[in-house]
Structure 1
Amino acid sequence: MPNALEFVESEFGPIPVLNGRRLASKRNPITEARSWVERQDRKSSDLIVFGFGAGFHIEELQKDKEAKSFLIFELNEEIAEYAKTKGYEVITTKEKLLQIVEQSFPSDFQVLFHQPSIQQQMQDYDEALYYLCGRKKEGLEKALKRISLEIDTNNELDSKLFLDRDLASYCKAKPMDRNYNLLNVLAEILK
């Protein structure tokens, strides 16, 4: 899918529109961003935000005293360039994200999802999440515990395994591909 980026003007500044979808409210993006920050069920003060969008949620997150440190991960290069014009450093590849996290980020980080920013590339963001969280011992233990309890007699994974985001794309995979994909992720984790 082509990534056609445009901007619409608002009284709060330009609002990015990607493939015809606004990445923030045109009427009141600041209130929307505050609401997004307040809705996050945060378990860590070290955060990785998936999706830059218009950046209003990032600005509000910077004001939050509980957010000690955060990284911004944006796969769309045009949006990443826009973020840079606003003074933000943005990570654009899962390999770079993993490298930074492994070298200099606390192990108890949490990933926050800005849905308007990631919805058009959900599969790519999911892949990055698995790539990132698969290296975390807790994530692996959690996934393996659920998987070991839920594999049916045909060695196919039951869709009820995928209630949260950590393995959601496997639910979408073709039945014959699910186990293969899962084994690839587990092999990558165990390297």
Structure 2
Amino acid sequence: MSLVRRPLQILRTHLRVYLLANLVVYGLVLGGFALGLAVPELAAGRAETLETDGTADLVGRLLSNVWLFAATILGVNTITVGLFSIVLPSLVVPFLGIAIFAYRAVVIGVTLAPTDPTTWTILIPHSLTLVIEFQAYILLVLGAYLLGRAWITPAFVEEASRVRAYGAGLRLLGVLGLAALVLLVVGALYEAFTLRYLVPVMLR
């Protein structure tokens, strides 16, 4: 229960920041999405990049094993996006991970912009995936913000020294990070199973 109760306490305490983070993050994704629709060459370029670097081929091969596919999605979302884009940069420079993720959110939006009827169809079940996974990222963004505030202004977490304040901010980030991991697991399972079983039926 503490895994649920403690993150909710943090969200209630910092509700305005959390709501603002939702507004900004989803706004950036939708902005990238609109940009991809307005300039189809950008979305096509992203699709070509995924083909060139082997990502599309890897997805095709992993679809035959839904559990391995889900594990791969979880690994990419947790390590590449969550850890490398948000958490680790924020441990070195206050708020840096937030800026990096803001750029990534726009790129994701561009990548998701449909270029044909097939991708529009895939987007229908995938929309819920985005909601789940981006809620996880928003929790990490909130954690990065709280860490940065604590680091810069120790009084924000009722500490006198920056070292102790950094530790307090790190604990807040850790609590939100565990909640984010749960959401990423749920998102990875939903994405893998819908792409493996639901989308093929919808495309027939």
Flag whether TM exceeds 0.5 (same fold). Answer: no
Give TM class, smaller chain: under 0.3
| Larger relative contact order (Cα-Cα within 8 Å, sequence gap ≥ 6) | 2
TM-score (norm 2): 0.24
Q: Larger % of strand: which? A: 1
TM-score (norm 1): 0.25
